[in-house]
Amino acid sequence: MRFVSTRNERESATFFEAFANGLAPDGGLYVPEELPDLNPDTVSGEAQPYPALAVEFLELFDTDHTPDQVFKLVDKSYSNFTDMATAPLRQLDDKLYVLELFHGPSLAFKDFGLQLVGSLFEDQIRRTGNSINVLGATSGDTGAAAVAGLAGKEGVNVFILYPQGRISDMQERQMTCTGASNIFPIPIQGTFDDCQRLVKTLFMDHEFRDQVRLSAINSINLARMLAQSIYYVHAFTQIPAEKSEQVEFVVPTGNFGNVFAGWMAARMGVPASRFKVATNRNDILHRLFSTGIYEEQPSVSPSYAPSMDIQVASNFERFLYYHVDGNGAEVKRIMERIRTTGRIELPNFSPDTFCSTRSSDEDIIRNIQKVHQNYDYVVDPHTACGFQEIDPEATTVVLATAHPAKFSSTIHKAIGIHPKHPTLERLREKQQVRYELDPDADEIRAFMLLNGLM
Ligand SMILES: *Cc1c(COP(=O)(O)O)cnc(C)c1O
């Protein structure tokens, strides 16, 4: 299988190249040259154990590794999940299910992508003999999951910028209490956007980038996307046939990565699936799916679901590529238009496989209360956005993207309890290690030259 850029369908890359590059040379995102079909028996037959399904799925795309190597990568990536089912599907009501994606080491769904990315980096380092330095910015969950995927690994140092005082205490502890000497958490005086700007500046410094063999872990990484498609297939195969005539997946959404992965699984043969894009008050995608107009707001507005506080849905470009039938020039034109004006109107934009909702902070609190009252089940503030509007007639799968203990103060506000998780409790006693630096690209560059692997 080869991969093309969303902005230029002519030049293609291998899986190894697409993974190592992150972003395509022309600034586009990598998509598979063509979407393979899933084996119909896989979709309609008996549910397979998660690792077996993951191997079967990834082999379709990663043709650079042998099947045996793919098996080892999968085994390594998911053996430390604490639930036997990896991504258990819990039934709350006759036709209402929750897909629990928070049993990985950082307790959020991002572990599915970043555990695999960690194993793939390790494999790349061994294969090429070159060490790498990973640089990223986080508003909380991505950094925690990246650190969980890379702590202690040979040949890679990880530098993570985060806005000081603007992520939760537990999210900070997940990055600062690893005890691993290859992890460098860097609190920055400023916002998440400031952190991201610094990361971009350093990635644009080509001399530095080559010198430290800079690598990225952001949500546009191809391997993260592929890893996330698998749990949609897995969930579908566990729903009894009499209920799976039409299945609606409800996806708490920020960057559009998770829901795009589901849409891809549907294109590959998961039948009769629809998707509900659940946003918080930062509702650029809700507005898009209700009006066909994609329009950025002047700034993001902090909410109770911070990992969905975005104003640019970076993975949307992949969906756009399919919307314009793989016309790279057209994608390029639209992305350029968005970059310069912050707005685009998409004519004929009424994809019938999508609908959307928006939740204010008050809605989030109310939804946490409602789910607790009706089903004796506690959802985190992101997952709570998924319960904004449930169609009682349809079989519904709400994706639970984080464990409630990660956001215990909001849960307490809603239902008066502080959910706990042993993984987080253990962090409370540990020593925090972090490196305070000025929000200045030169200072961070100098720090990385001193502490990076060369
Ligand atoms: C990252 C994140 C999201 C948003 O996922 P996208 O792929 O960016 O749409 C939702 N919930 C949680 C808990 C997250 O960490």
Structure tokens at 170: 């537990």
Q: Point out the catalytic residue in the list 72, 95, 110, 430.
A: 110
Output the pLDDT for position 431: 95
How far away, in angstroms, is 185 Cα from ligand 1 center?
21
Output the pLDDT for position 54: 97
Strand positions, DSSP E, 181-313: 183-188, 214-215, 247-252, 273-279, 293-295
Contacts of 263 (CB under 8 A, 6+ apart): 275, 319, 353, 354
Which tens digit of pLDDT belongs to each residue from 86-114?
999 999 999 999 999 999 999 999 999 99
Output the pLDDT for position 200: 87
Atom of ligand 1 nearest to the CA of 141: 15
* Amino acid of residue 70: V
Strand partners, 212: none
Output the pLDDT for position 352: 81
How many residues are present in the chain? 454
How far away, in angstroms, is 60 Cα from ligand 1 center?
25
Is 243 in the active site? Answer: no
- Ligand 1 pocket: which of 114, 258, 283 to mutate (most atoms within 8 A of CB): 258
In the chain the domains, ranked by start, together with CATH numbers, are 86-105+223-421 (3.40.50.1100)
Those residues of the chain that have pLDDT short of 70 are: none
Structure tokens at 104: 């990985």
Output the pLDDT for position 166: 86
Ligand 1 lining (C-beta closer than 6 Å)? 108, 110, 141, 219, 252-258, 307-308, 382, 401-402
Output the pLDDT for position 272: 77
- Ligand 1 pocket: which of 162, 307, 359 to mutate (most atoms within 8 A of CB): 307
The answer to whether the beta carbons of residues 32 and 13 sit under 8 Å apart is no
Q: Indicate which residue's Cα is closest to atom 14 of ligand 1.
A: 307
How far away, in angstroms, is 307 Cα from ligand 1 center?
5
Q: How many CA atoms lie within 13 A of 53 on its CB side?
A: 29
The pTM for the full model equals 0.96
The answer to whether the beta carbons of residues 22 and 221 sit under 8 Å apart is yes
How far away, in angstroms, is 49 Cα from ligand 1 center?
25
Strand-strand pairing, 395-400 and 96-100: parallel
